[in-house]
Amino acid sequence: MIDFRLDDEHETLRKTVEEFAHEEVAPVIGGFYEREEFPYDLVATMGRMGLFGLPFPETYGGMGGDFTALCVTLEELGRVDSSVAVTLEAGVSLGAMPLYRFGTEEQKTEWLPRLCSGERLGGFGLTEPGSGSDAGAMLTTARLDGDEWVINGTKSFITNSGTDITALVIVAAVTGTKPDGGKEISTIIVPSGTPGFTVSRKYSKVGWNASDTRELSFSDCRVPAANLLGERGRGYAQFLSILDEGRIAIAALAVGLAQGCVDECLRYVHEREAFGHKIGEYQSIQFKIADMEARAHTARLAYYAALAKMGRSEPFKKEAAVAKLTASNAAMDNSRDATQIFGGYGFMNEYPVGRFYRDAKILEIGEGTSEVQRMLIARELGLGVG
């Protein structure tokens, strides 16, 4: 018998995060969003709650939980706000997880306790101005000069890379040429403040306005050779595996946004009147909300299925792509329908659905576009060239 209920531990966590999201995030996040200000106090509270350390062992300052705990948390945060949710998602999945998966014992001991506590954040420098989905077109280079890596290049759209509490960025760079003539790609830890590492000012974004997103540049940036993360030349394989996990996390965040749209609409339609009736009495509104609930429910099952395979240590690349595609579609469709239900009020920043609409689009782009998800699904089904 298949049981989709959360166990007691995960349900307790869900309720705790739900309370935090509604009582501490919801009342203030709109102001942070409009000011395009990073919510340091909220992040500090999440750190004290142990959210940044959820899937990591207690040995490194973590909570000893699992990836399901992270996803449950992201869904509950996403029901209220995506900026706070993506700060957590990127801090864990992209900033800390590569260190845990591929770092030496010295690297994990040095960095993970501060990242797990939320006192510090990490970023993952993969995307470049001229290479988004095509990571193989990477131009950033790192060459060994004695006992140091010398890094040159530019990274774009990097989350958590320029806050006052950012400790490091993990940079993917071309470190040589493989025997077949292809690029040898490796990942290297670059601490914040390293000479030659420049963090540009914040982007002016359509959504996620209370999260930190920057362009990074490296000009003869030198770090110790010991800052190599994982095996030299395995960087491409490493970040592909990190992205597979991250897609489940982004799917959970997207489900939260999709469900948040349902939550807001249910409140609104019992208050708003038109032509002498509450608008929730009209079948056209009822059907629209029913479709929204169905999308959120289906997307949740998709990321639960991916989590189940991941938890059993089975291949889950296809399921992660299905979850990311399904959930981001649900978030985009639900935010559009919610905005329509709210009418003119949905176009006002004072209502959460307007923020949800602006935040939803990036979910179809970040950590692998919808087109890339379809490509991965097709490939896992045995389709492709040749």
Residues forming the active site: 367
- Considering only CA atoms, which of 185, 160, 187, 156 is closest in space to residue 171? 187
Q: Which two tokens stand for residue 347?
A: 């176009």
Q: Residues 115, 96: contact at Cβ < 8 Å?
A: yes
**Residues of 287-317 as b/e, b for ≥16 C-beta within 10 angstroms?**
ebbeebbebbeebbebbbbbbebbeeeeebb
Q: How far apart are CA 372 and CA 377, in angstroms?
A: 9
Pairwise CA distance, residues 51 & 69, whole Å: 9
Could you tell me the two tokens for 34? 């409009």
The pair phi, psi for residue 231, each rounded to 5°, is: -80, 145
Q: Scanning the structure block, which residue is given the tokens 């077949």?
A: 180
Burial status of residue 6 (CB atoms within 10 A of its CB: 0-12, 13-18, 19 or more): middle
Question: By the 8 A CB rule, do 116 and 61 touch?
Answer: yes
Beta partners for 294?
none
DSSP 281-293: GSHHHHHHHHHHH
* Buried/exposed 57-95: b ≥16 CB within 10 Å, e otherwise: eeebbbbebbbbbbbbbbbbbbbbbbbbbbbbbbbbbbb
What 3-state class would DSSP assign to 348? coil
Pairs from 335-339 (Cβ < 8 Å, separation ≥ 24): 335/257, 335/258, 335/261, 335/359, 335/360, 336/360, 337/261, 337/265, 337/288, 337/289, 337/291, 337/292, 338/261, 338/262, 338/264, 338/265, 338/292
Tokens standing for residue 99: 């260190």
Asked if 142 and 151 touch (Cβ cutoff 8 Å), the reply is yes
